[in-house]
Amino acid sequence: MNFEIWDVHTHLSGVPGDAPEACLGRLIEFADRLGIARLCVMMGMKPNYDPSPENMRQQNDEVLRAIKRFPDRALGFVYLNPRHTQASLDELNRCVRDGPMVGVKLWVALRCNDSSLDPLVARATELKAPVVQHTWLKITGNLPGESTPMDLAELATRHPNATLICAHTGGDWERGIRVIRPHAHIFADINGGDPTAGFTEMAVRELGAERVLYGSDAGGRSFASQLAKVLGADIPDAAKRLIFVGNTKRILQPILRAKGIKL
């Protein structure tokens, strides 16, 4: 029983190293120990909640440097801040249209139901780039710009052709899964929370295995704890294959093909 594994959600931060290439190299060393073939990398070595246009570019430059060193192991996602719409569009064009990146990452600068996201999501959809949106539902209280799965569902309604990835599935996954369930173009990225048993089973039961993605949130999280969510789940091996690699490949296939990248 061997699985090819692609990790749809990793970072340079939280990994030892004084340069982007060193951080990614170290991350890949740990990934190799667990059989993870490819990493989607997003955000720079020192992430910022609300990056300025300059900081956005710097963080994306760090990812570009890192993935250039490991072209067969890493794919880049461009980090955008919807508070800076034009700068984000420029960055999207620079890194995805004209560069090697294949997806978009949005974090906590602005809740994603805000109309400021519309031009960004529309452009990402034109470029066939999936959009990873951080989401969390905290009983302790979200940050002011921190999105919930409900916010993402609103965005999804406005962008029926977009490919949206609900990062962390809202953290509170028993609610998050229910929120995104009616929106077939929202995928559940199960990374980032504790490896609580039952998470993946419920996601597969309610969404179908075709809408569930493995990601880790490494380096802040362990690859191990997040892999366990799939490996330890009481689901068929066919579902695990979809979650580990099949769905991510399917989502990325259009943009990879457009860029002439063969899998």
Partner 1 sequence: MTHHKPSVNGLGSPCRSQSGAVPPAERTSKSVCRRDFLKTAFVATSVAALSGPTSPRAAEVKPSGLIDTNVYLSRWPLRRLRGDDTVALVAMLQAQGVTEAWAGSFDALLHRDMAAVNARLAEECRRHGAGLLVPFGSVNPKLPDWEEDLRRCAEEHQMPGLRLHPNYHGYKLDDPDFAKLLRLAAARGLIVQLVLIMEDERMMHPMLRAEPTSVKPLAAVLKQTPRLRLQLLNSQRVLCGPALASLAAAGDVSVEIAMLEGVGGVLKLLADVPLHRVLFGSYAPMFYFESALLKLQESPLSDAQQRAIRCDNARRLLAKTR
Provide the binding-site residues for partner 1, judged by CB under 8 A: 1-5, 11, 13-16, 26-27, 30, 32-37, 42-43, 47, 49, 107-108, 134, 136-140, 143, 146, 167-168, 171-172, 174, 192-198, 201, 217-225, 227-229, 231-234, 240
Cα angle value 55/58/63 (rounded, 5°): 130
Instruction: Give least dist CB 197 to partner 1, A.
Output: 5
Closest to partner 1 by CB, 178 or 259: 178
Closest to partner 1 by CB, 245 or 251: 245
Closest to partner 1 by CB, 4 or 126: 4
Closest to partner 1 by CB, 1 or 86: 1
What span, in angstroms and rounded, lies between the C-alpha atoms of 156 and 72? Answer: 32
Q: Which two tokens stand for residue 169?
A: 């599935």
Identify the bridge partners of residue 77 per DSSP, sorted by sequence position: 42, 103
Closest to partner 1 by CB, 98 or 234: 234
Establish whether the linkage from the previous residue to 219 is cis, with ω within 30° of 0.
Answer: yes
Instruction: Give least dist CB 251 to partner 1, A.
Output: 19
24-40 burial, b for 16+ CB within 10 Å, e for fewer? bbebbebbeeeebebbb
Closest to partner 1 by CB, 14 or 119: 14
- Cβ–Cβ under 8 Å, residues 204 and 191: no
Closest to 206 (Cα-Cα) out of 231, 229, 184: 184
Q: Which two tokens stand for residue 104?
A: 């978009």
Instruction: Give least dist CB 183 to partner 1, A.
Output: 21
Instruction: Give least dist CB 234 to partner 1, A.
Output: 6
Instruction: Give least dist CB 245 to partner 1, A.
Output: 11
Closest to partner 1 by CB, 19 or 122: 19
Instruction: Give least dist CB 39 to partner 1, A.
Output: 11
Alpha-carbon separation of residue 223 from 10, 50, 189 (angstroms): 9, 27, 14
3-state secondary structure 67-120: HHHCCCCEEEEEEECCCCHHHHHHHHHHHHHCCCCCEEEECCCCCCCCHHHHHH
Instruction: Give least dist CB 103 to partner 1, A.
Output: 14
Question: Which amino acid, one-letter code, is at 39?
Answer: L
